[in-house]
Amino acid sequence: MPLRSARAFSPAAVIAVLAVSGMAVSLMQTLLVPLLADLPEILHASVDDVSWVVTATLLSSAVATPTLSRLADMFGKKRMMLVCLGLLLIGSIIGALSSSLVLIIVARVFQGTASALIPIGMSIMRDELPKEQLSAAVALMSATLGIGAALGLPLSGVVYEAFGWHAIFWVSGIFAIAMAIAIAIVIRESAVRTGGSFDYVGAILLSGALTALLLGISKGGSWGWTSTETLLTFGVSAGVFAMWTPWEFRSRQPLVDLRVSLRRSVLMTNMTAVLMGFAMYANMLSTIEMLEMPAVTGYGHGLSSLEAGLAMIPTCLTMVVLAPVSARITHRFGAKTTLITGALIMAIGYVARIFMHDTVTMIVIAAVIVSAGTAVSFAAMPILIMGAVPETETAAANGLNTLLRSIGASVSSAAIAGILAVVTLSVAGRNLPSLAAFQLVFVLAALASFIGALIAMAIPKAEFNDLEPIDPDTIAALTHTHEVTK
């Protein structure tokens, strides 16, 4: 196999392009959140129907992340990143040119698929970057999941106020075009591939199971947690998972290698990912809600959606700043210690949040502490995953970890919505969430963070603890083996 040409761009340029691309697709999580109060009037739909613009993105992300990550390992990581951005562009164009709820939901489905770019980007980093820069780069790329979500709140709010809601979709489309061009120019295609054929049956079964699960979680609050619809979705999910699991064990080329996923190091990391996803999203949602509560509640501050979004900027900057700090902790003490440290910082931050609510400044400071822990813990998880799986399964393994973080965030969203709807006080004839509701959310998030730290303590030493780029001879040998397999 002929050697590839030398890299035309520096590692710093590669890291910058991948990280900014990760932030761009992460924006999709919160892109329309500042509009949710206005969308029923804009789209002439009910509040419950409008909630699908968020639910659709969640579902498409869940389905696309493991599928596109596996395809990236098989057919090329750069290629699949460009596919992700192409789908984001399609969704952005549909949204920018539409004014009906159905088409906006279709647009959000396309946009949600782009989130698979993040685990694929981390796997490219493993293949391409020098060892001394890998930890910091992966830490930053992993943190983009939270950075983009936090940045999306003020950005979409500003664009909405200044240019209207269609402009938000045009902005996301411009991001998609710009990052696709940057990736096409700067990023080399990785030569590390997995041979064999794609597991279509496994992909269909997993997509169905995840769709039913997340549909039940996201809509259970409005349907009723004991309603026929909710119980049916959870039952369908359990049944399809029961079919998918033995299929994956029998498959020669599984979509998700469950034997690898059940290794203690991978399993413990993924269990922690669910809890960290829960805690991360609780910080974002509760901060926005608390800041927007009217002052007559006794604890709210009456900020507008735009003002509350701007107040979230320090949490975003904290994640950017602490990503390299996390890498240094990992380099000196190991990714396991970094993950435990981040989870404990989150727990401390949530304990502080129980008491720090008298001023906007106090709320922001407490939210920043939680964000600091989020940045540190999120940065450690892909390092642990990559240290426990072979190079040829990096994208798929990180895709599963990212998916589980998203599931944790979905559970968090449903739990918060339920608590804020039930633990209320009456203000001028309206039932609004009480301070006790937010404090209960903080207690649950603190427990999730602390339990995450305890689980992380059980993570053993990595089995594949060589995160150096693969040398050309190894690439040639791997490629030859996979060609023979084909």
Residue intervals in the chain for CATH 1.20.1250.20 = 11-198+253-485
Tokens of 60: 């498409």
Residue 431 β-bridge partners: 426
Instruction: Give the pLDDT of residue 479.
Output: 35
Instruction: Give the pLDDT of residue 466.
Output: 43
Instruction: Give the pLDDT of residue 486.
Output: 35
Give 306's Cβ-side CA count (13 Å radius): 7
Crossing angle of helices 11-26/166-186, nearest 10°?
160
How many angstroms separate the most distant Cα atoms in the chain?
75
pLDDT < 50 stretches in the chain: 1-6, 464-486
What CATH class does 11-198+253-485 carry? mainly alpha
Tell me the per-residue pLDDT of 236-278, one tens digit each, with 9 for 90 and over: 999 999 999 999 898 888 888 888 888 888 899 999 999 999 9
Instruction: Give the pLDDT of residue 221.
Output: 77
Tell me the per-residue pLDDT of 438-473, one tens digit each, with 9 for 90 and over: 999 999 999 999 999 999 999 986 554 444 443 434
Instruction: Give one word for 44, left, alpha or beta, with left for phi > 0 and alpha for psi -120 to 50.
Output: left
Q: What is the pTM of this model?
A: 0.81
Provide CB contacts within 8 A for 191, sequence distance 6+: 1, 4, 127, 475, 479
Provide CB contacts within 8 A for 342, sequence distance 6+: 276, 326, 373, 374, 375, 376, 377, 378, 379, 380
Crossing angle of helices 264-292/394-422, nearest 10°?
40
Instruction: Give the pLDDT of residue 228.
Output: 92
Alpha-carbon distance of 1 to 380, in angstroms, equals 35
Instruction: Give the pLDDT of residue 123.
Output: 85
282 in Cβ contact with 444 (< 8 Å): yes
246 in Cβ contact with 415 (< 8 Å): no
Provide CB contacts within 8 A for 478, sequence distance 6+: 192, 193, 391, 392, 470
Instruction: Give the pLDDT of residue 233.
Output: 93
Alpha-carbon distance of 93 to 113, in angstroms, equals 15
Crossing angle of helices 335-355/313-333, nearest 10°?
150
Instruction: Give the pLDDT of residue 464.
Output: 46
Alpha-carbon distance of 350 to 342, in angstroms, equals 12
Q: What is the 3-state secondary structure (H, E, C) of 335-367?
A: HHHHHHHHHHHHHHHHHHHHHCCCCHHHHHHHH
